[in-house]
Amino acid sequence: MAKGKYEYWLTPEGLLKIEGWARDGLTDEQIAVNIGIGYSTLQTWKSKYQDIQDTLKRGKEVIDRQVENALLKRALGYEYEEVKEKFEGNVMTERTVTKKEVIPDVTAQIFWLKNRKREAWADRQNIELSQPIDDSLKEMEAYFEQLKESGSGPPVE
């Protein structure tokens, strides 16, 4: 790395470029390549220079919101108009507008719910036990031993 190279990236012009790359959806690794440094150097710059860290965060927030909005739109479904135009030479001879519908996407709905309403939709739920498992096992063993001794055996379904 050329000595003092970070200085350019702390200028308004350099920070604007970084923010634009982040807004365009580039990863930190890709931004580091664009700057001409290694990923680890960018991480060091982020910890040393608050302006670089804030700029990356600000740029990423915009694209994150756009993706969230697109995911929600896809989850709920939407309508749009498809426009077809026919030309003969430079003159438009026909224009057709067709209303189309994109049906709600179940996968997008599941993804949204599992992340936004995790407590109700997570694949794994936290279950609280009223007593430790070891105690429950001992109780079950004692119950089955008692049944065996009485000769009645466990209930058959």
Are 119 and 133 contained in the same domain? no
In tens, the pLDDT along 20-76 reads 999 998 999 999 999 999 999 999 999 999 999 999 999 999 888 998 999 999 999
pTM: predicted TM-score of the whole model, two decimal places: 0.53
Are 114 and 135 contained in the same domain? no
Are 67 and 17 contained in the same domain? yes
Are 145 and 116 contained in the same domain? no
More confident site: 96 or 150: 96
Are 121 and 134 contained in the same domain? no
Are 87 and 113 contained in the same domain? yes
Are 18 and 69 contained in the same domain? yes
pLDDT average, residue stretch 124-153: 78
Q: Domain limits at 95?
A: 77-126
Are 90 and 47 contained in the same domain? no
Q: What is the DSSP string of the chain?
A: --TTHHHHHTSHHHHHHHHHHHHTT--HHHHHHHHTS-HHHHHHHHHH-HHHHHHHHHHHHHHHHHHHHHHHHHHH-EEEEEEEEEEETTEEEEEEEEEEEEPP-HHHHHHHHHHHSHHHH-SS-----SS-HHHHHHHHHHHHHHHHHHT--S---
More confident site: 106 or 151: 106
The total domain count for the chain is 3
In tens, the pLDDT along 85-95 reads 999 999 999 99
Residues above pLDDT 70, as percent of the chain: 90
Are 47 and 91 contained in the same domain? no
Query: Is pLDDT above 90 for 5?
Result: no
Q: What are phi and psi of 80, to 5 degrees?
A: -150, 165
pLDDT-based confidence at 2, cuts 50/70/90?
very low
Are 67 and 26 contained in the same domain? yes
